[in-house]
């Protein structure tokens, strides 16, 4: 058995030090969510992977290094996965990330609990 390398472009961004990880939980009250706003999370490092999950409604969005700003892969409660490029998403910065409060994305909704994980 051989490793298949045909048709592949491999790029890696291996951290030479200790990988950075951060976890958190946000509980939103009944305040109206404005679609144009974002939730900002400070991790102290630039994430290469972010996962945000609305655990109340079982909606998860993920951002992977190399994706465009304000995009994500959304997994709905039923397990359907879609690449979100028009309903906003996750944008990373040198010190953390932001998540869109877009109602169609449904990752952040009033009166819900969300958990997140970021890895650098």
Tokens of 30: 């009944």
Helices and strands, counts by H and E, the chain: 0, 9
Task: Give pTM, 2 decimals.
Answer: 0.83
Q: Specify the pLDDT at position 66.
A: 95
Q: Which residue has the tokens 């400070």?
A: 42
- Average the pLDDT over 35-63 and give the result: 92
What average pLDDT does range 61-84 have in this prediction?
95
4 touches 100 (CB < 8 A):
no
Residue with the larger pLDDT of the pair 7 and 112: 112
Q: Does residue 61 have a pLDDT over 90?
A: yes
Distance CA 12, CA 15 (A): 9
Mean pLDDT of 83-107: 90
Sheet with 96-100, strands from edge to edge, namely: 38-42, 96-100, 90-93
| Domain ranges within the chain, ordered by starting residue | 38-119
Q: What is the pLDDT of residue 15?
A: 54
């Amino acid at each position: 058995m051989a490793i298949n390398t045909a048709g592949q472009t491999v790029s890696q961004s291996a951290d030479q030090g200790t990988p950075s990880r951060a976890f958190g939980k946000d509980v939103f009250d009944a305040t109206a969510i404005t679609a144009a706003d974002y939730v900002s999370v400070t991790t102290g490092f630039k994430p290469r992977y972010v996962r945000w999950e609305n655990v109340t409604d079982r909606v998860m969005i993920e951002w992977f290094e190399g994706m465009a700003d304000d995009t994500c892969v959304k997994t709905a409660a039923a397990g359907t996965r879609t690449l979100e490029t028009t309903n906003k998403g996750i944008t990373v910065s040198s010190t953390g990330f932001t998540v869109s409060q877009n109602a169609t994305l449904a990752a952040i909704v009033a009166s819900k609990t969300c958990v997140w994980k970021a890895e650098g």
